[in-house]
Structure 1
């Protein structure tokens, strides 16, 4: 069984398709909550994934938890808060890393800006280069939307140049309960998880996301 620990709902980015509230809530999980869940299901848990929000905002809990328990750990992060020290610590704790990035800089900065509106891609690529320089085997997670689907080949070429070992695609579908607040026309969306062949996504280029 995989245990998904949403260690915080807070986030330093404001992705335009965000289904997690985009930092609207500043909730942080405490260690006792994570401990209680782990020990309740310990005999069934084979993997623990740290998620958010941006989980690195609660790095103290991640480190303490991984130091205490024996499991297969993974971290889904926007990578903006990684540095050499944290990368080394995560590697020593056996925490695998998946970096969220959706497109080359000119598109990714519009899809995944900081809360102040500035682009985040430069900091993500800096962290990816640190991961590469420290020989960390990390993967990429990309959310496929009408605004980046034509740039996926460019994304793959870019992230492999920065040392990524795999790329997974999460397809934005029109089925969920979450509303994108920046849409010109209100619709509900959700994210369908898993690796998808691009030919099978069935994306509609007329879905009314924010116009760039």
Structure 2
């Protein structure tokens, strides 16, 4: 952790950056426990803030281990968290179960009540859901809305052309995922006090000349890199869904700088914007909004990550 902190400092100083964003991801970061999280954060803070680098800390968690002890520590550290959730308990329990097959939805509901209480509500950065066509998007939105989160987002499954998403038809006759999002958008746009949805907000921002808020939209460079618990520097973790070992850059914080990682071909490919896309995508009028889709979804034998994204209503 000390070496990672030094590498982050080195990178920020080289590029004359005044702040850095550090996100604890997983797995489940809260499994580390309060002592571990405090140790890791203290090392980063003492190394970076002593040199004038503003640290912004975040976490992505399933929320099940959040309690008052964790909340008090997060307040002390200035550590906010996003919560991965599928929806209300009966929806959440379809796939989010413990080792005995018991649902976790009701327990999560109780944890969210604590997290969104007056004392801790500023710790919540938002909700993250994966689209499941069997679930009602409006029911999910309204359930999450009752916690008054700062934001929420809905992600397409991390599937690809070798493992097609649930109910997906690559012939172009099936628009179920588009229909799911359109139904959600129509409900959201009519909401008199809507909760920000990053995907929709990104679309609108790009249309009006702004920048995307998410890596799955637009053609802005992706400026993320992952440090694993053994010090390995890897490409963005979502790529693991595409192919085993694809995030391996053969770099680590003990021997390599983040500049070396930034110059690696797998990372450079994420900096090229529309130039990295298939010709069909580059010539599309919507490429600056769509961005060809999230990188991990596009892998296909023979074309690598240049498989064109099929238009939601191509016909």
- Tell me the TM-score normalized by structure 1: 0.63
Determine the structure 1 residue equivalent to 2:38.
Answer: 63
Determine the structure 2 residue equivalent to 1:159.
Answer: 144
Matches for 1:124-143 after TM superposition, within 5 Å: 124-133=108-117, 134-137=119-122, 138=124, 139-143=126-130
Q: Equivalents in 2 of 1:67, 1:173: separation in Å? A: 34
Determine the structure 2 residue equivalent to 1:94.
Answer: 78
CA 1:135–1:86 in structure 2 vs 1: closer, same or farther (change >3 Å)?
closer
Q: Equivalents in 2 of 1:195, 1:106: separation in Å? A: 25
Q: Does 1:41 align with 2:25?
A: no
- Tell me the TM-score normalized by structure 2: 0.44
Contact 2:30/2:61 (8 A) holds in 1:
yes
Q: Structure 1 segments of 4 or more deviating over 4 A?
A: 176-180, 199-202
Contact 2:2/2:43 (8 A) holds in 1:
no
- Which of these residues, 86, 98, 115, is aligned with residue 99 of structure 2? 115
- Which of these residues, 40, 64, 67, is aligned with residue 83 of structure 1? 67
Matches for 1:127-206 after TM superposition, within 5 Å: 127-133=111-117, 134-137=119-122, 138=124, 139-148=126-135, 151-175=136-160, 195-197=198-200
Gap regions ≥5 residues in structure 1: 1-33, 184-193, 205-212
Contact 2:89/2:109 (8 A) holds in 1:
no
Higher helix share: 2
CA 1:103–1:61 in structure 2 vs 1: closer, same or farther (change >3 Å)?
same
RMSD (Å), alpha carbons: 3.1
Determine the structure 2 residue equivalent to 1:53.
Answer: 27
Alpha-carbon distance, 1:39 to partner? 1.4
Q: Equivalents in 1 of 2:155, 2:100: separation in Å? A: 26
Contact 1:125/1:162 (8 A) holds in 2:
no
Alpha-carbon distance, 1:157 to partner? 1.6
Q: Equivalents in 2 of 1:176, 1:52: separation in Å? A: 25
Q: Equivalents in 2 of 1:126, 1:163: separation in Å? A: 15
Q: Equivalents in 2 of 1:153, 1:168: separation in Å? A: 13
CA 1:176–1:93 in structure 2 vs 1: closer, same or farther (change >3 Å)?
farther
Q: Could you report, residue by residue, the CA deviation over 1:74-125 in whole angstroms, capped at 9, with x for unpaired residues?
A: 0100000110111121022111110111122111101211122111111111
CA 1:50–1:179 in structure 2 vs 1: closer, same or farther (change >3 Å)?
farther
SS at match of 2:103: coil
Contact 2:131/2:156 (8 A) holds in 1:
yes
Contact 2:130/2:155 (8 A) holds in 1:
yes
Higher strand share: 1
Q: Equivalents in 2 of 1:161, 1:153: separation in Å? A: 12
Q: Equivalents in 1 of 2:161, 2:6: separation in Å? A: 32
